Structure 1
C-alpha cells in the first residue's frame, strides 16, 4: 500500500513540475543552495557566452569591457528577479500565468511568444554551435586546411537533439540531476582554458592587451564602459523567461536571489564571457573549438572540446523545459503528454541541423533585439506587482479565461501595458541598436537599458494610477470582493 501511495505521489509531483499547475512547496525541485546554483550556472554558462566574450574584446579595451559587462549583469539581473521571480516563486506559477495580472489574460500571449522565441531560438543556436564546433574539431584533426564536413555537423546536431529528448522525456527532475555534473564541467573547462591562455602571458598583461584599434567599436573609455555595461544588462534582461521558470521550482525564499545572481550571473555568464574575451584577444578567433585546439594542442584540446559540447546538454534541457511548460498555454499542447510536447518542440531542430551556419549568422542577430522588448516587459511586471498591487495577487484569477476574472482588463488585454512595452522598445532603439551598435548621444553616460526601464516604470505607473482611479478594471480596488467571488477556472 505504501509503495502504491509513493508511486501516485511521484506521478503527481512529475505532472505538477512538467505542467502549468502551480507547484507547491513539497513538490518543488530545488531544496538546497548547491543544486539550484548548478542549475543557474547551466543557464548562464552556455557556449554562446564565448561568442559574447569576443564582442566584449572588440569593445576596444579588454579590461574595461569585462568590468562593464559584469556591472551590467548585476544591474540588469536585479529588475529581472523582481519582475518575473517574485510572483512565480510565491504562487508557483509559470511566467506567462504570472504576467496575466499585469498584461491581461490574453495580453500575456505576447510574453508566451517571446518566451518561445527566446528559449527555442537560443537552444537551436546552441545546437548549431555544438554541431559547428564538432565539425571544426573533426576538420582540424582529420582534414587540416580543408572544408568542414557538413554531414558530420548535421549528424552531431541530430544526436544532440536525440539526447535532449531522451533525457527530458521522463520529466524535469533530470535538470537537477544533469546540471549537478555539467555545471562543474563547464567551469572546470573555463578554468583550464584560462590557464592555457595565461601560460605564456600573465593575466595582468592579457587584461591590458586589446584588439587592433581599427577593429574596436570605440576608442573613448567612457563609451567603451557604456558598451560593456549595456552588453551585460541586455543579456540579463533576456533571462526574464528563464528566471521566472526556475523561480517556481525554488523551495526556500532565501534562495531566490543569491544562487541565481552568482550562478546565472557572475559565475556563469560573467566568468565564461570573460574567458572568451581573453581567448579572443590571444588567438584572434571567436570559435571556441579553434582557440582551444590552438592553445591546448590536438590531444588535450580534443578532450576539452568534447566535454564542452556534452556539457551544453545541461543548458539545453533547461531551455526546452521552460519552453515545454509555457507552450501548454496553447490548448493543443496542453492535451499532449510531456514527452510528445518536447518532441514537437525539438522537430524544427532537424532543419537547424542541416543549416547551422545560416542559423548562427541570422538568428543570433534577430535575438539581439529581444532586450529592446524585454526592457518594457520587465518594467511592467515589477511596477504592477510591487508598486500598484503591493504584492497582493489573486492566484485563482490567473487561470480564469473570461471577463469574470480580475485580470480581464479590456477584452483580456491591458492596453496600457502593451503601449508601455512599445514605448520601451522605441526608447531603447533610439538609444542603442544592438545589431549595428549605433548609439544615441546620451548612451555614453546612461546606456540604454536603465533609462528605458526608468521611462517605462514611470509611464506605466502614472497611466495605471489614472485607470485605477477611474475604474475597477484589473482587480486593484476590489480585491476583497473578488477574493470571495466564485469563478470558473480553466487551464
Structure 2
C-alpha cells in the first residue's frame, strides 16, 4: 500500500512519524515566542509567592535565577536536543530508553498526575480570583474568602470551560494564546509599577520572608532554590513536543534560556515582591490589595481567564502525548470524550482536596522527585550510551519487531534507575515536612536525584544490556542523524 506525502505529513503532525526538515515550523525567534507564551503564566505568580515564604527578595531573586537556570538547562538537554534533531514526539523518543510499555508507564507518572494536579491548582486559583473580584465589587475584605463553596463551584466551572476549549481543538487555543500572553506581560509590568509606587526597590530588597520554616537561613535559601529547580523541571513533560517543531537541535535548545527561563523569572520576581510587600503569598489576594477597586477588578478578572488558557495548553499537550502511548482502544475514543475523562480527576481534587492550592509548592516539589530522575536517565542514555544516535525505524516499529523492545516492552534497567533517583530525592529532602539531610544544603535534592538516576542507568546498561540483547546499545542505527529526509 503506497503512502502519499499528504498521508505522511498528517502522520507526522500527529506524532505517528518524524517531522521532515522542511515541515519544521520554528526558527530561533519563533520557538522563543512559543515557549515564552507558555511560560508567561499565572503559576509564575504562585511560585514567586512561595519563594517569599522562605526568603526575602534579595535572596529570593537569586534563588529564582539560580533554580530556574539549573532546572531549565537540565530539562532542555534531556528533552529538546533529541526531539529537535529527529523531529519525533517526546514519548515516542522515550521508547529508546524505557521500551514502548515503559514509555506508557512514564507518561502516566510524569504527565497524567502532573497535569491533573496543575489543572486543580489553576482551577482553584480561577475560583479564588472570581471570589476576590466579587468581594472587591461588594466592598468586602479581599483577604478573607467570602465563600469556600463558591470557590469550588467556580473552580469546577473553570475546568469544564477548559474541557470545552480543548474539545474545540488547537485553533481556539492559539487564538487565546495570541491575546493572553502579551497581556500577561503588560499585567506583570503594571503590578511591578504599582509595587514600586508604594515602596522603593531598596526597601523591598530589605524586607523579610513571610514564614521561614527554619532558623538556618542557608536551609531556607536552598529550599527556595529547590522550589525553582522544580519549576524548571516541571517543563519536562512538555518541552520536547514543542522542540520537535524546530529546525535543528540548536534552535530546539537555546531559545529555552530566553523564553522559558526569562518569562518565568519575570513573573516569579513580580510574585515574590508583591508577596513580601503586601504580606500575602496568594496572588488572588495581593492583586486585590495593591490596585484598588478598578485595577483590582481588571487584574483579577484577567488572571481568572488567563488560568483557563494555561489549563488548556497543558491539557491539550497531555492529550497529544496520550495518542502516542495509548492503546488502540484509547485512540478510538472520541476526542471530546477523552478530553472530558481527563478532567474527571481534577474535578474530584477541587471538590475533595482543595487544600492542594495552599500547599501547591509541595506538590510542585514532589514532581521534581520524578522529573529530575527522568532527566538524568535521558541525558545518560542519549548523550553517553547512544552518542546521540537513534534508530528511527526501531522507534516506530511494532513493539515485537523493534530493537527497543527490551523485556516485554519494558526496560527494567531504566525503570529501576527511575526508582533509585526518586528514592534518593525523598531521602535527601522530604517535600511534605521540608526536613532534609546535610547533603541537601550542599547540592539541593534535584541534582543528587538526577546524578543518581543517570549513573545507575549508565552503569547497569553498560554492564548488562548488551549481554541481554536489550536496546541495541553499541549497535549502529539503521537510520540515524538528520534523518527524516531519508524516510
What does the per-residue CA deviation read over 1:113-145, in whole Å, with 9 as the maximum and x for residues that have no partner?
A: 121111232123212211222112212322615
Rounded to whole Å, the distance in 1 between the matches of 2:402 and 2:95 is 10
Contact 1:129-1:356 at 8 Å conserved across structures? no
1:53 equivalent in structure 2 = 48
Q: Secondary structure at the match of 1:437?
A: coil
**Match of 1:335?**
332
Query: Aligned match of 2:77 in 75, 78, 82?
Result: 82
Aligned partner of 1:260 in structure 2 is: 256
**Which string of whole-angstrom CA distances, capped at 9 and with x for unpartnered residues, describes residues 211-245 of structure 1?**
36xx3134444334322322211222221101122
Q: How does 1:55-454 map to 2 (within 5 A)?
A: 55-113=50-108, 114-142=110-138, 144-145=140-141, 148-149=146-147, 152-154=150-152, 156-211=154-209, 215-267=211-263, 269-328=264-323, 329-351=326-348, 354=351, 357-361=354-358, 365-454=362-451
Contact 1:131 1:353 in 2 (8 A): no
Higher mean alpha-carbon deviation, 444-453 vs 380-389, is at 444-453
1:43 is displaced (CA, Å) by 2.9
Change in 2 beyond 3 A, CA 1:468/1:157: closer
Structure 1 range deviating more: 309-318 or 370-379: 309-318
Q: Is the 8 A contact 2:19 2:87 kept in 1?
A: yes
Are the structure 2 counterparts of residues 174 and 264 from structure 1 closer, same or farther at C-alpha, using a change threshold of 3 Å? Answer: farther
Native 8 Å contact 2:54 2:224 kept in 1: yes
Q: Is the Cα contact below 8 Å between 2:212 and 2:220 reproduced in 1?
A: no
The CA distance in 2 between the partners of 1:350 and 1:224, in whole Å, is 33
Give the corresponding residue for 2:476: 479
Aligned residues: 472
**Matches of 2:454 and 2:249, distance apart in 1:** 25
- CA positional deviation for 1:414: 1.3
The match for 1:462 is 459
Give, in whole Å, the separation in 2 of the partners of 1:9 and 1:170. 27
Change (3 A) 1:364 1:61: closer
Q: Which residue of 1 aligns with 2:485?
A: none
Name the SS of the counterpart of 1:391 in structure 2. coil
| Deviation (angstroms), 1:389 | 0.6
Moved more, 312-321 or 185-194: 312-321
TM-score scaled by length of structure 1: 0.87
Distance 1:35 1:223, change over 3 A: same
**C-alpha separation in 1, matches of 2:173 and 2:18:** 19
In the superposition, the TM-score normalised over structure 2's length comes to 0.88
Kindly tell me: are residues 233 and 352 of structure 1, through their superposed partners in 2, closer, same or farther at Cα, counting changes over 3 Å? closer
1:353-395 deviations in Å (ceiling 9; x for gaps):
6557345257764453111122111111111111111111112
Deviation (angstroms), 1:70: 1.2
